[in-house]
């Protein structure tokens, strides 16, 4: 533990690292403040601030740091940018033009980033309309439609681009991995409230304080194991053949290629969850459709028959 605090002290003494850490904290603070700025034209007194959303909306609310349920200007978070990045990566496999850009080095990456930004704007505009139509009720609006929808479509689109800009600034001026840090901050923002709620529940008789401490220990162990797996690498031995050039010998050394145990990280799990929530989410938007029963049956199969997102 002493070595840990010594390392932190040494990091803070390095001017460049201190500036980068400070910049990162300031950018993340801007993001968290924006998560509580309500959309223009929305009556904040009518918001329920429900954080226990289910299905795909609950997943989006988790990644957005609660901004989705707060009707915030950052309600869509960085999910449109991530969706656009995935689409562009898939186009690199199917479309020769994008495959050529991926092989052009720095200039190709700049063009791909430009196309990703353009696609992000389109995806955000469509998602903004869906969000406003499905999550904002008429009694919460202070501005009549369609002015409310048009105004906030531009606000949500600009806010998502601003979050993307914050992520790029954290990558350039901060400690790196800006988009990942924004997602992480959004997820852990609910952690203090969850701890307090769990403590109150356990201290009130549901297991007692000992059960709460056991849960904390198990949580720490799970986090440590997850970090161990994510950071774990397997060294594949590579033996180079010997070459004799003149009077000198080259090669013949044994080196290793480090391969990550989980190269994809947690992204497959995240997208698998999102796909599982799609049938129930679509059924919510069309409760009177003839196919609603089929969608809910499919949702029950995907969730083991234990989930229902529609009121009975």
Model pLDDT for residues 264-281, shown as the tens digit of each residue: 766 677 667 667 766 666
Q: Who has greater pLDDT, 163 or 206?
A: 163
For residue 133, give both structure tokens. 């139509």
Whether 30 and 143 map to the same domain: the answer is yes
Where among 128, 155, 189 does a domain terminate? 189
Q: Establish if 214 belongs to a structural domain.
A: no
Whether 44 and 82 map to the same domain: the answer is yes
The pTM assigned to this predicted structure is: 0.74
Whether 27 and 126 map to the same domain: the answer is yes
Share of the chain above pLDDT 90, in %: 15
Range of the structural domain that residue 236 is part of: 232-260
pLDDT tens per residue across span 210-267: 888 888 999 999 988 988 887 888 888 877 767 666 677 666 667 788 888 877 766 6
Mean pLDDT of all residues in 197-201: 84
Q: What is the pLDDT of residue 230?
A: 79
Residue 245: in which H helix or E strand, if any? strand 242-245
Whether 161 and 61 map to the same domain: the answer is yes
Number of structural domains the chain divides into: 3
Whether 38 and 172 map to the same domain: the answer is yes
Q: What is the mean pLDDT of the chain?
A: 80
pLDDT of residue 311 exceeding 50, the answer is no
Calpha distance 144→138 (Å, rounded): 8
Where among 159, 189, 219 does a domain terminate? 189
Whether 39 and 158 map to the same domain: the answer is yes
Whether 178 and 281 map to the same domain: the answer is no
Name the phi and psi angles at 121, rounded to 5.
-60, -45
Q: Establish if 227 belongs to a structural domain.
A: no
Q: Who has greater pLDDT, 11 or 148?
A: 148
Q: What is the pLDDT of residue 165?
A: 92
Q: Establish if 17 belongs to a structural domain.
A: yes
Whether 100 and 247 map to the same domain: the answer is no
């Amino acid at each position: 533990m002493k070595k840990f605090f010594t390392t932190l002290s040494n990091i803070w003494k390095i001017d460049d690292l201190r500036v980068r850490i400070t910049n990162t904290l300031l950018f993340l603070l801007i993001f968290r403040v924006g998560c509580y700025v309500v959309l223009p034209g929305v009556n904040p007194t009518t918001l329920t601030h429900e954080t226990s959303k289910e299905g795909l909306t609950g997943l989006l609310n988790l990644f957005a740091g609660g901004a989705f349920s707060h009707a915030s200007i950052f309600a869509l978070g960085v999910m449109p940018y991530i969706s656009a990045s995935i689409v562009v990566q898939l186009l690199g496999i199917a479309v020769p033009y994008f495959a050529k850009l991926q092989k052009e080095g720095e200039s190709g990456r700049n063009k791909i980033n430009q196309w990703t930004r353009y696609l992000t704007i389109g995806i955000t505009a469509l998602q903004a309309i869906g969000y406003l139509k499905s999550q904002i009720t008429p009694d919460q609006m202070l501005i009549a439609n369609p002015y409310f929808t048009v105004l906030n479509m531009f606000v949500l689109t600009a806010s998502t681009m601003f979050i993307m800009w914050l992520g790029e600034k954290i990558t350039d001026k901060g400690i790196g991995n800006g988009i990942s840090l924004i997602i992480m901050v959004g997820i852990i923002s609910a952690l203090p409230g969850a701890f307090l709620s769990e403590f109150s529940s356990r201290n009130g008789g549901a297991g007692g304080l000992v059960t709460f401490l056991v849960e904390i220990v198990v949580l720490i162990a799970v986090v440590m194991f997850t970090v161990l797996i994510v950071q774990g690498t397997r060294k594949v031995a590579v033996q180079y053949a010997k070459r004799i050039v003149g009077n000198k010998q080259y090669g013949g050394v044994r080196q290793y290629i480090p391969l990550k145990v989980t190269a994809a990280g947690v992204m497959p799990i995240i997208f698998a969850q999102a796909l599982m929530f799609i049938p129930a989410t679509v059924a919510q938007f069309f409760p009177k459709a003839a196919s609603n029963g089929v969608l809910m049956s499919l949702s029950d199969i995907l969730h083991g028959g234990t989930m229902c997102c529609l009121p009975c």
